[in-house]
Amino acid sequence: MKKSIFLMSCIAIALASCHSPEERAAMKASADSAANAGTAVEKEPAATAAPADSAKADTAAKEVAPKTDAPVVAATEVKPAEKAAAHPGEALIKKSDCLACHNVSQKIVGPAYKNVAAKYPATDENIEMLADKIINGGSGVWGAIPMSPHPAVSKADAKEMVKYILSLKK
């Protein structure tokens, strides 16, 4: 049992340290734009060069891409386009520590947001009750592990978060 928990914790940490598809696309786009901007890139020496060909290998290592008259453009971070109708609650969740324990579709420490949406209809009473749970914490509904309180979150922000979560109904 302890080995299983340890293994699952290691997997969770490994997954949390990976870049999201959007981040990978942004990094690739940034690298591509830098390469296409006419920047000089040194070539790697051939790995199969013999010691007798060391003079040739040194020359090959010092070759650079041909210069062009194109202006040199500094590489800037390319951010993926945001969804046109991004929910304000989603932005609040991303800025908070919610994603340390919750995920949209998969249980981590706390329930997946889609499971919460499936359990609670989007009524004013449920929005109020779940916003209070975000602020004051709670326990017992989803298992023995309690949800820690978040007193720094305003009632209005907590309600926006809940509205977003309940909009994920399957």
Q: Encode pLDDT of 14-23 as tens digits.
A: 555 555 555 5
- Of 9-13, 27-31, 47-51, 161-165, least confident by mean pLDDT is 47-51
Provide the pLDDT confidence category of residue 12 given band limits of 50, 70 and 90: low
Overall average pLDDT of the 10-16 stretch? 56
CATH topology for 83-166 is Cytochrome Bc1 Complex; Chain D, domain 2 (1.10.760)
Percent of the chain with pLDDT over 70: 50
Overall average pLDDT of the 89-109 stretch? 94
Overall average pLDDT of the 120-137 stretch? 96
Are the beta carbons of 131 and 57 closer than 8 angstroms?
no
Overall average pLDDT of the 82-103 stretch? 85
- Of 17-21, 46-50, 122-126, 134-138, least confident by mean pLDDT is 46-50
pTM of the complete model: 0.52
Burial class (CB in 10 A: 0-12, 13-18, 19+), 166: buried
In the chain, where are the structural domains located? 1-81, 83-166
Mean pLDDT of the chain: 74
Provide the pLDDT confidence category of residue 71 given band limits of 50, 70 and 90: low
pLDDT for res 38: 47
More confident residue, 152 or 51: 152
Are the beta carbons of 169 and 119 closer than 8 angstroms?
no
- Contacts of residue 88, Cβ cutoff 8 Å, sequence gap at least 6: 160, 164
- pLDDT at residue 13 tops 90: no
Q: Interior CA angle at 99 toward 96 and 105, to 5°?
A: 140
Overall average pLDDT of the 141-156 stretch? 94
